[in-house]
Amino acid sequence: MIGAGAIGLGTAWHLAQQGHDVSLYDPRLNKSLHREGSANDLSGTSASLGVLMGHVFRRSSGRGWRLRRRSMELWPQWIEKLQAHQPELKLHPGLLQIADDEPTAERMESLAAQRVDLGLHMVSNADLAAIWPTASHGGLHSRHDGRVDPLLLQLALRQALAGQSVALNATAVVRLERNDNHWRVHRADGDSSVHDLVVLSTALCSDALLEPLGHARPMTPVLGQALSLQLTTDPTAWSNWPSVLVDQGFNLIPTAPGQLLLGATVEPGDRASEDPLTLMRSLNERAPEWLSSATVVGHWSGLRARPVDRPAPLLEELEPGLILASGHYRNGVLLTPGTAEWVAAAVQQA
């Protein structure tokens, strides 16, 4: 298993639980999991806010919908098991999407009618007034979507892997070599090892390992940024707030009285905006006064890998014993359980 973000860690854990001998490679494995002040060298998982947008997905068919729905079914089981290693890890349920305009509101109403059994319902402007007074077209509430803390998730998975006797190698893999019916994994420290199968969850590093083998799966970087905010005015208690509020693609997440995370995947490329306050200004003047006047106490960014000319994520057996599970773009945390299950099935058939 190469790559130890949420997908790599979760897949390694799932495979180990099924009795497979697993080795995990990633140079970040010997680094602590934290965000200090302003950071721009974080992995996609560590930079993310762990938002789970599963049931509000607009499509009702296809692989993307099946993967989201299955992941949402699996998350409660995963959390229950991982709490043995990290008791503070939990699902934070409740996600509210604000409608941008009337056509969006109509699509939301249709989706809510189709998915009553999944916990979706519309919220009126009157009901939104207390928490998001700038809403003018209502919103869609999802009872089971929400958030998982991505740092606690990675910590719990690392601890679970240690308990499963998974070999954790904090070294970069620089080359893959076919070796009869096996794969030789060459590491940056000059050492190598032989494995029956290789699973790649290496995001933007995938191409460097795949191109020499004749597989072109290019991905482009898309920058995600997040702010940690301290409010100077109400609402400091977050009464009646969901775990996640989404407006125009921006995620707002209350974390403590008077404290809030604000984030979005908004910028192509790999360079952060110099002024983090532009994130708040990008709410197109629909930010409530209390948000506009908040103090920035932290700012970080990370790169998401978006497949080029292919739908995300990339889930493929490229050749016997070589499996790609990467390019999840903005949904790595959400799709971790479903991806792990897919990889396990592919390994079983290999």
Domain that holds residue 138: 92-149+221-307
Is 65 inside any structural domain? no
Q: Are residues 108 and 233 in the same domain?
A: yes
CATH number for 227 = 3.30.9.10
The pLDDT of residue 268 is 62
Cα–chain center distance at 193 = 30
What's the structural domain count of the chain?
2
Q: Are residues 104 and 126 in the same domain?
A: yes
Q: Are residues 235 and 289 in the same domain?
A: yes
Q: Which residues pair with 2 in a beta bridge?
A: 25, 200
Q: Are residues 144 and 241 in the same domain?
A: yes
CATH number for 202 = 3.50.50.60
CB of 51 closer than 8 Å to CB of 150:
no
Sign of CA dihedral 182, 189, 170, 268: negative
Q: How far is CA 273 from CA 253, 313, 327, in A?
A: 21, 26, 23
Q: Give me the tens of pLDDT residue by residue for the chain, a chain 350 residues long.
A: 999 999 999 999 999 999 999 999 999 999 888 876 555 668 889 999 999 999 999 999 999 999 999 999 999 999 999 999 999 999 999 999 999 999 999 999 999 999 999 999 999 999 999 999 999 999 999 999 999 999 999 999 999 999 998 999 999 999 999 999 999 999 999 999 999 999 999 999 999 999 999 999 999 999 888 999 999 887 888 989 999 999 998 999 999 999 999 998 666 666 666 665 666 656 877 888 888 888 889 888 888 999 999 999 999 999 999 999 999 999 999 999 999 999 999 999 98
Q: Are residues 112 and 128 in the same domain?
A: yes
Q: Count of residues for the chain?
A: 350
